[in-house]
């Protein structure tokens, strides 16, 4: 699931104290950004959250200064103060929902440290059974959901079969439960654990726009009645109201349309991803439980706890298990095929290309640590052990199966140990 940092600080962040295992968020394989030592998790486009905050705060401040301040004395019994109080409280509530949406785990499924157990043998070696057999994992599996067969896919990145309604986000590089979409405005995936807050944020933003829009017109009408002007001349008396009216009108079309669309999705218990890909109007929706129960599922059920403890220490067992898993002899459903998450628009890559680069870095780091001696680094003293040559030979060796790669590494390690002993003997003599 997680890998401890390699020697020399490689593979993790260097903010862990010496002698201690790093925390999960420090070696996280996804593209997420963490704040307050793993207490908040954001997507890689977290900067867009500040833009969204600015688009909310700036018009509210303009409204308070140029509109609400003038309305405070125009209502009897000090009711004018409530105009400003309500907009300030509503804005704080809206920003809180934004942070609840973008700063929490959306439902990330932890990655496996090794592939699941293969269910069928793809082929048997004809070398007398001296090497492990090679297995091929099926690309998809069938599971039953509410009496309807649903096909789930294997994720090569996370090495797991995705649960129903789960998808891999190519932006955050995580598998997310009940994946809806990746929202660039909140800089986070929208999934099982933050969809409720996302809809409440969008809906409250729409109400905030309508509130500012309405009271800007109230202020314009009061100017018209007080000075006996036409509505157009009254508008010229308050340019700030003109800007806010236009701004809120445009925003209401966006957040209002989004609110209505997600209202439809919730009533039919669909996600945005399912609506665009599967089109349940042409087939049975196994998740539809009726309009009332669908809304109760979204708003009245307990949010499941996160499956990730980002502040926990990475255990030694997890690192050893990861090392052992690299030597297993298995075949991915996409071994030898250019693959990619076409559902999320990822660029196709070879199945074992990312693993090849990681294995090269692991082997290089291990060899450097092996030949560290008090007199100096023997690995860098020998021209035959340069990184360029090692990487080239290793990549060529990776054209076969994982068993071939592991045997090559053992043979290379044995040769280098023998070479080190010979050099030490020659130096002693």
Specify the pLDDT at position 365: 43
Specify the pLDDT at position 134: 56
d(CA 294, CA 267): 6
Specify the pLDDT at position 252: 95
Task: Split the chain (429 residues) into runs of 10 and give each run's mean pLDDT.
Answer: 42 53 89 91 93 96 92 77 93 96 94 75 46 66 84 90 92 94 94 96 97 94 89 90 96 95 94 83 80 94 92 69 46 50 39 43 45 39 38 40 44 60 59
3-state helix, strand, coil in the chain (%, to 5): 50, 10, 35
Please answer whether residues 193 and 107 qualify as being in contact, where contact means their C-beta atoms are separated by less than 8 angstroms: yes
Q: How far is CA 316 from CA 5, 21, 135, 320, in A?
A: 11, 8, 28, 6
d(CA 366, CA 385): 13
Specify the pLDDT at position 284: 79
141 beta partners: 152
Q: Which residues contact 62 (CB under 8 A, 6 or more apart)?
A: 240, 243, 244
123 beta partners: 134
Please answer whether residues 146 and 269 qualify as being in contact, where contact means their C-beta atoms are separated by less than 8 angstroms: no
Among candidate residues 219, 314, 215, 412, the one with its CA nearest the CA of residue 13: 314
Question: Which SS3 state, helix, strand or coil, does residue 144 take?
Answer: strand
Specify the pLDDT at position 367: 43
Please answer whether residues 275 and 285 qualify as being in contact, where contact means their C-beta atoms are separated by less than 8 angstroms: no
- Total Cβ atoms within 10 A of residue 318: 18
Tokens describing residue 272: 């945005």
Quickly tell me which residue has 């018009």 as its tokens. Answer: 59
H/E stretch holding 407: helix 402-428
Catalytic annotation, residues: 183
188 beta partners: 183
H/E stretch holding 52: helix 47-63
Among candidate residues 341, 330, 335, 329, the one with its CA nearest the CA of residue 353: 335
Question: What DSSP designation does 23 have?
Answer: B
Please answer whether residues 211 and 90 qualify as being in contact, where contact means their C-beta atoms are separated by less than 8 angstroms: yes
d(CA 203, CA 195): 12
pTM above 0.95? no
Specify the pLDDT at position 20: 76
Buried b (16+ CB within 10 A) or exposed e, 285-297: bbbeeeeeebeee
Q: Between helices 47-63 and 80-102, what is the axis angle to 10°?
A: 180
Question: Which SS3 state, helix, strand or coil, does residue 57 take?
Answer: helix
């Amino acid at each position: 699931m997680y890998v401890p940092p390699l020697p020399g600080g490689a593979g993790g962040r260097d903010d862990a104290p010496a002698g201690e295992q790093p925390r999960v968020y420090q070696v996280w394989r996804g593209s997420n950004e963490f704040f307050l030592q793993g207490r908040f998790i954001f997507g890689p486009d977290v900067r867009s959250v500040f833009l969204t905050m600015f688009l909310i705060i700036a018009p509210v401040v303009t409204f308070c200064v140029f509109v609400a301040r003038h309305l405070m004395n125009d209502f009897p019994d000090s009711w004018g103060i409530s105009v400003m109080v309500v907009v300030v409280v509503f804005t704080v509530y809206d920003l809180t929902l934004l942070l609840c949406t973008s700063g929490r785990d959306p439902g990330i499924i932890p990655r496996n440290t090794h592939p699941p157990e293969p269910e069928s043998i793809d082929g048997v070696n004809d070398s007398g059974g001296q090497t492990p057999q090679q297995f091929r994992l099926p690309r998809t599996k069938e599971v039953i959901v509410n009496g309807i067969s649903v096909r789930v896919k294997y994720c090569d990145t996370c090495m797991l079969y995705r649960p129903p309604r789960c998808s891999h986000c190519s932006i955050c590089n995580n598998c997310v439960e009940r994946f809806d979409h990746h929202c660039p405005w909140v800089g986070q995936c929208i999934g099982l654990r933050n969809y409720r807050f996302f809809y409440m944020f969008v809906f409250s933003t729409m109400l905030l726009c309508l509130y500012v829009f309405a009271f800007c017109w109230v202020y314009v009408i009061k100017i018209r009645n007080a000075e006996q002007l036409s509505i157009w001349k009254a508008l010229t008396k308050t340019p700030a109201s003109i800007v806010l009216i236009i701004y809120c009108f445009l925003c209401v079309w966006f957040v209002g349309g989004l609110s209505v669309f997600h209202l439809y999705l919730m009533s039919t218990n669909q996600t945005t991803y399912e609506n665009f890909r599967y089109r349940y109007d042409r087939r049975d929706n196994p998740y539809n439980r009726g309009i009332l129960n669908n809304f109760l599922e979204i708003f009245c059920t307990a949010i499941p706890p996160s499956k990730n403890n980002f502040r926990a220490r990475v255990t030694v067992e997890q690192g050893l298990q990861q090392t052992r898993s690299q030597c297993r002899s298995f075949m991915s459903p996409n071994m030898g095929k250019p693959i990619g998450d076409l559902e999320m628009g990822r660029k196709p890559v070879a199945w074992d290309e990312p693993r090849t680069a990681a294995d090269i870095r692991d082997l290089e780091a291990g060899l450097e640590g092996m030949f560290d001696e008090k007199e100096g680094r023997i690995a860098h003293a020998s021209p035959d052990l340069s990184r360029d040559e090692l990487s080239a030979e290793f990549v060529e060796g990776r054209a076969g199966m994982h068993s071939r790669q592991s045997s090559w590494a053992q043979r290379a390690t044995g040769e280098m140990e023998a070479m080190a002993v010979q050099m030490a003997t020659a130096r002693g003599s």
